[in-house]
Structure formats: structure tokens, C-alpha cells
Amino acid sequence: MMSHRSFIKTLVCFVALGASVAHAAPVTENVVFGNLGSTASDPFTTFATAQVGSTVSGSTGNSFAVPFVTGTNPEFLKFKSVVFALGDVAPENDALVKLVADSSGSPTGSVLASAQQTLGPNGQYTFGMGLVQLAASTTYWITLEAAGAASGNYFTWLGSNAAVAPSAQNSSGYSYPGNSKSNTDGAGWITNNAISNLSISVQAVPEPSTYALAAIGAGLAGLVGWRRRKVAADAAAAG
């Protein structure tokens, strides 16, 4: 028979367990949007190449932007990183990727996060953005550009031969609204749906310990229910 003191100790143990699980739960990323598959593992070798960046001295180069609309499930709204399939072309250059808020249907809103890295051989490059909380049912843009304006500095992005548009992955509820855009040498953003085949994958991180805490909560509810029934039964027997 569980005494009142034992019951309290058990409750404390459940709470402590929940806290430890929340602290120790691994941060795993879910692919929520893109055309590289549900695990961002499609081989880049299946993609055709197209030039990104500057080939004219002093130019800001060519930039590309792919929009996405978030879903409503809060589990998929903590933006973490972007994967692009890219390759370097001598001379060496960097790729700059940004998460940008939508402004009247263009990637001209606030820059919410950015990441830059030097490219090597053709491959998949992950651009970590920290953790950015996105709003549900909201349009955002991922922009890609060459981070350098020296003559001849450019790299290649590896786009699908079949022009596969990005879409929701892992039942995230994200969607592709169309109207990807390009910006040639800083002349301004124009609609360029041909670049919807940019090989892109967007990752999000679930709220820490969401599932573990839910399980702990269910266990606590069951324990409290059992205690109430036990007290009621004891009172009936004593009466």
C-alpha cells in the first residue's frame, strides 16, 4: 500500500525524471521543405549545373531566392539550417545563404539569419542558422548568392534535370507558393520559376523533449488518478 509520503516521493521522482529528460534530450533536425528528399540525402550527382555568382569585375553577382510557406504544427517552426548542393569554380569563392522575411511577395524583408562558407568540390553544404522561431502559415525566403565580387568569382549550384519543385517533407505542412526569383547583378528581383529546381533542403528542430515530456505528463496523470481512486476506496472501506 502506498502511503501519502511515498506518493509525494513518487511525484517528485517523476518531475525530476522529466527535467533530466528535457535537459538531455538530443536535438534532432527534421527536414521540413525541399527537393532533396525527406532526409536531404538525394545524390547531387543527379543534378545538372548552372552558374551562380559574378563573372564581371565589380558586380554583385547573381542571387536566387526560393520562397516557402510554413505549416501550422508548432513542432516544425524552429528553423535550424539549409542544405544546398553546390560546387566551387576557381578562383575560390564563398556562398552566402540568408533567411529573409517576405515583403509584398519579394525577399526584401528583414534578414532573420544568415550563414556563409567557402566551397570546395561539388557536394552538399549545410548552412547552420542557429535557431529562428518562425510564424505559422507565413511566407519566408531562402536566398543564395556569391559572397564576393572579384572578376571571375562564381560557383555552381546543382539543379534538378527534371526541375523538381521543392515541397513539404515529413508531413510538415510547408508548401511552395511558386514565383522563385532571381536578381542579376543587383538589378532587382524578378520572377524566375525556372530556379525552383535549386537543390535545397530546409531543416527545423522540434521543441526540446516534446515527446518525452508528453509521456511524463501522461504518467503523472495516471499516477494522480490512481491515488484518487485509492483514497476513495479506502474511505469507502472505512465507512
pLDDT of residue 152: 53
The overall average pLDDT reported for the chain is: 76
Domain 30-204 has CATH 2.40.30.30: no
pLDDT of residue 145: 85
* Region of poorest pLDDT, from 28-32, 55-59, 152-156, 187-191: 55-59
pLDDT of residue 56: 36
As a whole number, mean pLDDT of residues 185-194 equals 85
Q: What are the E-state strand segments in 3-119?
A: 30-34, 47-53, 62-69, 78-89, 94-101, 111-118
Beta carbons within 10 angstroms of residue 180's beta carbon = 23
As a whole number, mean pLDDT of residues 13-37 equals 64
Domain boundaries, the chain: 30-204
Q: What is the DSSP letter of 210?
A: H
Per-residue confidence band for 179, with pLDDT thresholds at 50, 70 and 90: very high
pLDDT of residue 225: 60
Which ranges of 70-185 would DSSP assign to H, the alpha helix? Answer: none
Express each pLDDT in 109-167 by its tens digit.
Answer: 999 999 998 887 778 899 999 999 999 999 999 998 877 655 455 677 776 555 678 99
